[in-house]
């Protein structure tokens, strides 16, 4: 059983309640979803989203009075994980066109325990085997060995955090997510910490997902500006992790 965590910050201004509704409706129709623990961390959302979350009584909801950011919100859910339990970080603006996707993520780690982070790939990701930039150049591979089942993976340096599973063994080494401010870089920094911890990251390329946020809202503009202001801090953290001058372990409430 995996622990699936989703941070939700819907306001009347950013108009994201419908994205959350569509994401949850898609999850309800996913085979085996009720075999897993799904925790929503509400970062002070509007009344419409609070009512939506009450309607989905199969969810566990942690309600916060204000927005504490993506990483800290996800950490509040991950603090509840059991020993040996893999954890999923999932955004509230995605639909997944594949039944049993949680089991596929679990299977990847079962087939190769050196996978630290395994994710589902958005169509706008740049990673591919022939990319001219080595940072985005990926490697395709097949995992096998359980009931003669083969699973394709795409090894990458960074798994975008739309939907990603963290190996419990990796979490034992790195603790929790970390980001400089309210938004941005938590997945990029996690990929670096994953590498330093001796694991690798990959996508399951055969599972198609749809990022349903059109990116045409003032909220998207705010996110891009907010994360862009932290680029220098990100590079400093990256170099500190790689050099060993900063521990890759992070507490939940850093």
Burial 194-232, CB ≥16 within 10 A → b, else e: bbbbebbbbbbbebebebebeeeeebeeebeeebeebee
What topology is assigned to 3-243 in CATH?
Answer: Spore Coat Polysaccharide Biosynthesis Protein SpsA; Chain A (3.90.550)
The pLDDT of residue 213 = 87
pTM: 0.94
**Rounded distance, CA 149 to CA 62, Å?**
38
What span, in angstroms and rounded, lies between the C-alpha atoms of 162 and 31? 20
Tens-digit pLDDT profile for residues 154-182 = 999 999 989 999 999 999 999 999 999 88
pLDDT tens digit string along 67-112?
999 999 999 999 999 999 999 999 999 999 999 999 999 999 999 9
Helix (H) or strand (E) holding 232: helix 231-243
The ranges assigned to domains in the chain are 3-243
Which pLDDT does position 161 carry in this prediction? 87
Q: Spell out the residues 6+ positions from residue 24 whose beta carbon is closer than 8 angstroms to its own.
A: 52, 56, 59, 92
pLDDT at 31: 85
Q: Is-contact 119 162, C-beta < 8 A? A: yes
Virtual CA dihedral for 118, 124, 128, 134, nearest 10 degrees?
-90
Query: Would you state the structure tokens that stand for residue 243, as one six-digit string?
Result: 């050099």
Angstrom distance (rounded) from CA 26 to CA 120: 15
* Complete DSSP assignment for 85-105: --EEEE-SSEEE-STTHHHHH
Tell me the pLDDT tens digit for each residue of 210-229: 999 877 666 666 666 666 67
């Amino acid at each position: 059983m995996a622990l699936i965590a989703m941070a939700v910050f819907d306001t009347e201004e950013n108009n994201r309640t419908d994205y959350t509704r569509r994401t949850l409706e898609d999850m309800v129709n996913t085979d085996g979803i009720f075999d897993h623990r799904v925790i929503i961390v509400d970062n002070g959302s509007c009344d419409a989203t609070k009512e939506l979350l009450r309607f989905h009584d199969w969810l566990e909801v942690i309600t916060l009075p204000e927005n504490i950011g993506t990483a800290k919100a996800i950490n509040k859910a991950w603090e509840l994980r059991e020993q040996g339990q893999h954890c999923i970080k999932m955004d509230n603006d995605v639909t997944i066109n594949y039944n049993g996707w949680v089991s596929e993520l679990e299977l990847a780690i079962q087939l190769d325990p050196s996978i630290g982070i395994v994710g589902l790939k958005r169509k706008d990701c740049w990673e591919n085997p022939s990319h001219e930039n080595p940072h985005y150049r990926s490697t395709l591979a097949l995992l096998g060995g359980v009931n003669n089942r083969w699973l394709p993976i795409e090894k990458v340096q960074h798994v975008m955090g739309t939907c990603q599973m963290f190996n419990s063994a990796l979490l034992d080494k790195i603790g929790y997510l970390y980001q400089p401010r309210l938004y941005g870089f938590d997945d990029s920094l996690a990929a670096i910490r994953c590498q330093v911890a001796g694991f690798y990251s990959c996508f399951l390329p055969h599972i198609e997902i749809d990022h349903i946020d059109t990116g045409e809202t003032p909220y998207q503009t705010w996110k891009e500006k907010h994360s862009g202001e932290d680029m220098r801090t990100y590079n400093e953290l990256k170099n500190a992790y790689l050099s060993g001058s900063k521990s890759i372990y992070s507490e939940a409430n850093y």
